[in-house]
Each structure stands twice: as structure tokens, then as C-alpha cells.
A and B are shown apart, each in its own frame.
Chain A
């Protein structure tokens, strides 16, 4: 019992410690964990802006009706340092978005996992500035 409590408290501590590691703002305040969405569509435009980027996309349903969605990403700064530029995601690119819809029911979602239509990652990391020869 006591051990369970300790584990529980430990987990809570971890959550608190981990909390500042998340994004610029509380995504849970904006999006609904109970409303997961999977969107497949084409890029209309990308706003590489701060604090967070937004991808606008058109999603076609089974009847051919098109709905415009806005998908929230992160700050463009780290992406730019990795060589991503404004031409990285041209209009018309097919993408898939796995995320959570806005609490107010509008057609906004966070881009929890964004890939190209073939499942490949949209942006790939790999040049952290601390990956330099320290602490050999």
C-alpha cells in the first residue's frame, strides 16, 4: 500500500518535473484529449510563425466535400536550424495529421504526429548544437 503510494507520488513528481518540458503553452487548454482526429489532405499554406507554426490544409470527405483545417505545430526556430525552410512544404503536398481537435469544436487541431501521405516523417531532426565533441 505504502509502496503503491510512493510509486504514485513518484509518478506525480515526474509529471510535475516534466511539465516545463512541454510546448510554449498548455495544449490541454486548447485541444480536447477526448476528440482525437485523423486528417488526410493537402497543404494550402504554411505559416512559419512564432510562437507556433500553423499548417492550413484541405480535407476531403467521402462525398467530396472539402473542409479547411488549421493544424498547430511548434516554433519554426529549431526547424530552421535543421535546414528546413519556407519551401519545405509546398502547396498541394499530401499530408496526414494525427492530433486532437479544438475544445470549441472549430476545425483546428494540434499536429501531434504529422507525416507525408506515405507515412514518412515530415520534419526530421538531427543537428542539435550540443552534438559537438564534449565529455568524450
Chain B
């Protein structure tokens, strides 16, 4: 009974939210006739990718619940906190002003970015004894190659594809030209170049950090299909054969509704889909010249040598 009431409430709520966007919104066109997605957009939100256990069975917040969740999350994330002991304190790195991880949940009031399966959880194939990804080295890092991709300024796991919110630099600039859509990703300074034609994907032996994308229009929706990932990015533990379909629909002047579906039978029991609104924001994208100032790499490797010396002295 209460489940039915809840479901009904969710339907009503979803209807209310959908009603906020103009119905049958027709996006403007580019000079060559594509629906116009151009501009600077942000996917900043504190809505979690997966529905937390304590919200199981609850697909949508009420407005009051959303405000409470936002308040609690912002307090928990606040890097100005000094509690939890020295290690936790150090892990928070620096003052909160440097972060930009958002203060609001998505405007649909969904409790997770994952919208399918309906439980809001990624349908992982859990295997007993699966090693952590990436596997630990089991020894101190000897050079930059032994550190994480992010620390080496190679690729941020949320830069995509698929594109997800992170704790700062959640900004994207979309530029369209005849035959191509390009997406400039602020974190950590990447450009996705998406051809809009039916050329075949590159050879299966060719593996790319951001995969090999192909785009086409289905009505007002840009559909981008990406394959040929490498085996190092491991999005949500997927392997290099991950098959990704992203959908970009401009649903209001200030909103692109971004959805992506991930499929990889080696990691998931079924395909799953997430939805993240991208809101128009002020530019420009700021260049994130990650390698130019990466003094921290030297600092981390010096730290590893200091740890070794300390261990040898004992």
C-alpha cells in the first residue's frame, strides 16, 4: 500500500518537474542545420551516481528531503573541517574554497544519477576475490608510471566518456561544425572530437584513452556511440570492450539532458543508464595545464624514497 502511494507520489512529482521545462521545446539550429548544443555547460551536482542504501526504494526526494540531503552533504564534504584525526585531516588536502563540487541535487530530485535499473544501483558482476582496480603495486612507486592516471595528468576518470561530475572543473564547452561535434573538457584538459558520419570504427587493435566515437542525430538528440577503449581507464571496472552510448538532448534553453548507457558483460549483469542535466554556465573554460605545474609528482616520489629510507633504518 505505502509502496503504491510512494510510486504514485513519484509519478506526480516527476510530472511536476517535467512540467517546469517547456513542452515540445525546439532547440535553435546551427547554420548547417544541426540542433544547437553549443555553449559552456556544467554537470555539477551532489546527487550520487548510485542510490545510497538508506534511500533504497526511494526514486525521488521530496523538496524538503532534497534540502536536508543537500545540507548534510555540504557539511560532510566541507574540507574546512579538521575532525577525524591527522590522516583524515591531511587527506582533505586544503581549504574548501579550492573545491567546487556543488551544493544542489539534480533538478529532477532523483536520488541517484543511475536511472536504470530502477533501484539506482550499477548491476555489477561481483566476483569473489576480484582484485581491486587498479591493482595495488605491492611496492613503493619507482617512477611516474607507477602512479595513478590522474596524478600523471593523463585522464580524469570523470572526464569521460562518459562525463560525470567531479569535485571541481565540471565544465564543458561544445562546439559544432559541419560533420563534427567537439567537446572541450575542463578536467583535465581534453578534447573529444566526434565525427558525425557512418565511417566504421577503427581496427579492434587500436585502443584509445577516450575510445573511438561516432555521432549521429535522432531527431533533436545527438547520439554518440563509443568503442575501442583501452584497458587502463576501467570505468566502473568495465574492460576495454565497454560499449558506450551517450544521448545529448537540449530540453530547455539552459539545459542539455545528458544520458549514457554502459554495456560490458564482463563487468555488469545488464546494461545500465545514468542521467545528468548539464546546465548552461558562464565561460570561459579555463585551461588546466596539468603537466606544466605538476610539482606534486616529484613530491610523491620523494615521499616514497623517504618511506624506504625510514623502513631500512628500522
Q: Which residues of A contact B (CB under 8 A)?
A: 20-34, 36, 47, 49-54, 70, 72-82, 100, 102-106, 108, 110-114, 121-125, 128-132, 134-136
Contacts and interface: CB of A to CB of B under 8 A. Distances in A.
Nearest to B50: A17
10 contacts: A24-B151, A24-B296, A25-B148, A72-B299, A73-B94, A73-B98, A100-B90, A130-B42, A130-B104, A134-B279
B304 interface: yes
A47 B293 contact: yes
Interface in B145-180: 147-148, 150-151, 153, 157, 166-170
B80 interface: yes
Contacts of A74: 93-95, 98-99, 168
A54 B296 CA distance: 10
B167 A102 contact: no
A43 to B, nearest CB: 16
Contacts of A75: 98, 168-169, 288
A77 B106 CA distance: 23
B281 A79 contact: no
B92 A22 contact: yes
A123 B109 CA distance: 31
A31 B107 CA distance: 39
A34 B86 contact: yes
A128 B295 contact: no
B204 interface: no
B32 interface: no
A77 B94 contact: no
B186 A77 contact: yes
B307 A103 contact: yes
B8 interface: no
A106 B98 contact: no
Nearest to A102: B299
Interface residues of B, number: 67
A15 B286 CA distance: 31
B29 to A, nearest CB: 26
Given A33-B87, A74-B94, A134-B106, 14 more contacts: A22-B93, A25-B148, A25-B297, A30-B303, A51-B290, A73-B94, A74-B168, A77-B100, A78-B99, A104-B303, A106-B302, A121-B95, A130-B103, A135-B104
B299 to A, nearest CB: 4
Contacts of A36: 86
A63 B302 CA distance: 30
A28 B85 CA distance: 13
Interface of B: 42, 44-45, 63, 66, 77, 80, 82, 86-87, 89-107, 109, 141, 147-148, 150-151, 153, 157, 166-170, 186, 188-189, 279, 281-282, 286-290, 292-297, 299-300, 302-307
Contact of B97 (A22, A50, A125): A125
A47 B295 CA distance: 11
Contacts of B90: 27-28, 31, 33, 100, 110, 112
Top 10 A-B pairs ranked by shortest CB distance?
A74-B98, A49-B293, A103-B303, A123-B97, A78-B100, A23-B93, A134-B107, A30-B299, A104-B306, A33-B86
A104 B302 contact: yes
Given A50-B292, A77-B288, A108 B299 contact: yes
B143 to A, nearest CB: 14
Contact of A123 (B45, B98, B294, B296): B98
Contact of B93 (A27, A34, A54, A105): A27
Nearest to A134: B107
A19 to B, nearest CB: 8
A121 B151 CA distance: 28
B296 A28 contact: no
Nearest to B189: A50
A105 B286 CA distance: 34
Contact of B44 (A52, A54, A72, A128): A128
A121 B98 CA distance: 12
Contacts of A111: 94-95
B63 A135 contact: yes
